[in-house]
A and B are shown apart, each in its own frame.
Chain A
Amino acid sequence: MNKKQINNILIWFSAIVLIILIMTPGLWVVLTAFRPQVDVMAKPAVWIPRNLNLIQFETMLFGGSEGSMGRSPIPVLSYLRNSLIISFTSTFIAVLVGTIGGYGFARHNFKHKNKYFLLIMLTRTIPGISLSLPIFIIFSKIGLIDTHIGIILVFVALNIPFTVWLTDGFFRQIPRAMSEVAMTDGCTKLQAFWHIELPLSRSGIASAGIFAFLISWNEYALVSNLARSTDSKTLTVGLMDFTAQFTINWPGMCALAVFIIIPALILTFMVQKHLVTGLTFGGVKG
């Protein structure tokens, strides 16, 4: 064996170890969702699943059947509805506002532009959870606790800086001449944006949208403070419904986790495609 082969083997070996490390918890969640409680609690752990079932999913979605653990019905469908409303609305607003912001930063010069940009980015350095108390106090005073609007507002604020940053980068990649030629071609500024720059930056906007959606969809800490009932609790917060005073329904919780992961997973694959594809500028030199 020569040096190169040894190198290859080492690389593959460490890659596999790394993948196992990363994948195992996720895999364990998925496995647990399909297992009876006995297997889940067994010591030593049962690594190779013996019998798998869908009881947790049936209970979760259709209100339970004989032999399932989670007898107290958890309003998963309400949570799903809340999650969908909150995630989609906040993503839509964040992408709309963020894209306009990103375009502004990419295309217009104004005083202290770099400082403003830095300021917007700095908001990302504050850990979201540290804002939960001030947000809670403000929201309780203006009656936004336990409402969709309140949570949507928080997510919009959380996602705009990132969207601005990402779309700014994409707009910058589009040569200015593109919109200038459109304007001499008879477009207003808005038409040039709509017909030329927007279509050209759509993968950037799509990526921004998917990221914003995932952040909203997966957020737990802030929503767990702001959501108090089925009126606004999201799926992630709903996970805590599986804990009782003395027991935790692990299979049930994992089933819901799987339920949450699926859309996130699908979207992640879409991100990957967009990020890998990037933009191809056939219209300019190169």
Chain B
Amino acid sequence: MAKVSLQGVSKFYGKVQAVRKIDLEIIDKEFLVLVGPSGCGKSSSLRMIAGLEEIDEGIIKIGDKEMNNLEPRERNVSMVFQNYALYPHMTVEENLGFSLKIAGLAKKEIEERVHEAAGILDITEFLQRKPSQLSGGQRQRVAMGRAIVRRPDVFLFDEPLSNLDAKLRNQMRTEIKRLHQKVSTTIVYVTHDQVEAMTLADRIVIMKDGIIEQIGTPLDLFERPATKFVATFIGSPSMNMIKASIVKQNNELSMKTNDGIIVPVPKDKQNSVSEGQSISFGFRAEDIVPLKFGQKPSSAWEMKSSVNLAEPLGTETLIFTNFGEIEIVSRMFTPEQVKSNDVLDFALNLDRTYLFDENSGLAI
């Protein structure tokens, strides 16, 4: 019913092209997260869906209706802003009921719907307060309440949690997810925080420089990054990435780093690379393990390196060590004390090593 589709959509600010001909189909009732570094065009895309920015090129449809020339008020979307944008001169109740009042609904119905929304978000006791008398989390809830009270076809969230402190952010993240289950409406959610994207999304759209790098489920993106950018952007700590070129050794293709370290190309990639090709290879922190404290993977490449720094986090410990000249992170799940300057044997899991062409950035 309320699917959203973007077809070849572009946005220019003067000569700068913020969004470059993107195509995107958002399924009805889907929770879609647009994520990317600042300036990647994610907010512009959201604002074009809302009608707050002109669509310079392409078509945006909500349901089957073209939205290009409709005003924001005609699109039946609700937007939640980063700074909440609650009306400071109105009480919470008036804030929630404002859109219904503008729509000309009867007083009684407004009251009913406001109370219903307030109930969902647990803000009934604040209805008579002004926004300035609320805490950050409460304001955020009012902002969401104001969005759901209209029963829109699509919710648009523009970095709604970035003004909250870490603890509250986690809490509100859960609430947003719960809200989606309760109201089951299409949600387009913009964030620069990959953790938010991973935890909330049905599907994630990763953007960079105005184009879509990859669309997929959180696990898709994590397990099968299509580009080097996606690989380093998703996951925390970010994927270790090392530049290398392909060389032939003992009839087998290997990767030679700038420091001269030679690592064999994983077996399944032997036929996908050619000698002389510039590549980067990446591996996640958990895929390079200190042998002493972990299990050796079946297809392993080993190295000896000293610990620069260890960060014990309780369930896991991050070990910073060197791969040639480049610092990498290893994650171990054994609660053992590791000290700086300890020399350890590390095993790299070649089956979980990703290769990217250096020129195109695409996964090999």
Contacts and interface: CB of A to CB of B under 8 A. Distances in A.
Interface of A: 175, 177-178, 180-188, 191, 195-196, 199-200, 280-285
Nearest to A179: B85
Given A181-B81, A283-B86, A285-B83, A186 B150 contact: yes
Given A177-B81, A183-B73, A185-B146, A280 B52 contact: no
B88 interface: yes
B169 to A, nearest CB: 13
Nearest to A178: B85
B299 interface: no
Nearest to B88: A283
Contacts of A188: 71, 73
Given A186-B99, A186-B102, A191-B102, A177 B73 contact: no
Contacts of B77: 184
Contact of A175 (B83, B130, B163): B83
B320 interface: no
Given A175-B85, A178-B87, A283 B131 contact: yes
A81 to B, nearest CB: 37
A186 B84 CA distance: 17
Interface of B: 50-52, 71-73, 75, 77-79, 81-89, 98-99, 102-103, 130-134, 136, 139, 146, 150, 156, 163
Contacts of B150: 185-186
Contacts of A187: 73, 102
Nearest to B47: A180
A97 B150 CA distance: 35
Of listed B50, B71, B72, B131, residue having the most chain A CB within 10 A: B72
Given A200-B88, A282-B133, A285-B84, A180 B79 contact: yes
B11 to A, nearest CB: 15
Max chain A C-beta neighbours (<10 A), residue from B52, B85, B156: B85
Nearest to B99: A185
A184 to B, nearest CB: 5
B99 A183 contact: no
Given A181-B79, A191-B102, A186 B85 contact: no
Nearest to A280: B132
Given A184-B156, A195-B98, 9 more contacts: A178-B87, A180-B50, A182-B87, A182-B98, A184-B52, A184-B78, A185-B73, A196-B87, A282-B130
B87 A285 contact: no
Contacts of A285: 83-84, 136, 163
A175 B52 CA distance: 14
A184 B102 contact: no
A171 to B, nearest CB: 15
Nearest to B82: A177
B72 A282 contact: no
A1 to B, nearest CB: 45
Closest 6 CB pairs of A and B: A282-B132, A283-B88, A185-B99, A177-B85, A283-B86, A282-B131
A186 B73 contact: yes
Contact of A177 (B72, B78, B83, B146): B83
A284 B99 contact: no
Contacts of A199: 89
- Most chain A Cβ neighbours within 10 Å, of B84, B103, B139, B146: B84
| Residue in B75, B79, B130, B146 with the greatest tally of chain A CB atoms within 10 Å | B79
23 contacts: A175-B85, A180-B50, A181-B79, A181-B85, A182-B98, A183-B52, A183-B73, A184-B51, A184-B72, A185-B146, A186-B102, A187-B73, A187-B102, A188-B71, A188-B73, A195-B102, A196-B87, A200-B88, A281-B132, A282-B132, A283-B131, A285-B83, A285-B136
Contact of B72 (A178, A180, A200): A180
A260 B89 CA distance: 36
The interface centre, meaning the residue of A191, A280, A283, A284 with most chain B CB atoms within 10 A of its CB, is: A283
B102 A185 contact: yes
Nearest to B104: A186
Nearest to B136: A285
A282 B132 CA distance: 4
Contacts of B133: 282
A195 B77 CA distance: 20
Nearest to B52: A180
A61 to B, nearest CB: 42
A222 to B, nearest CB: 38
Contacts of A284: 83-86, 88
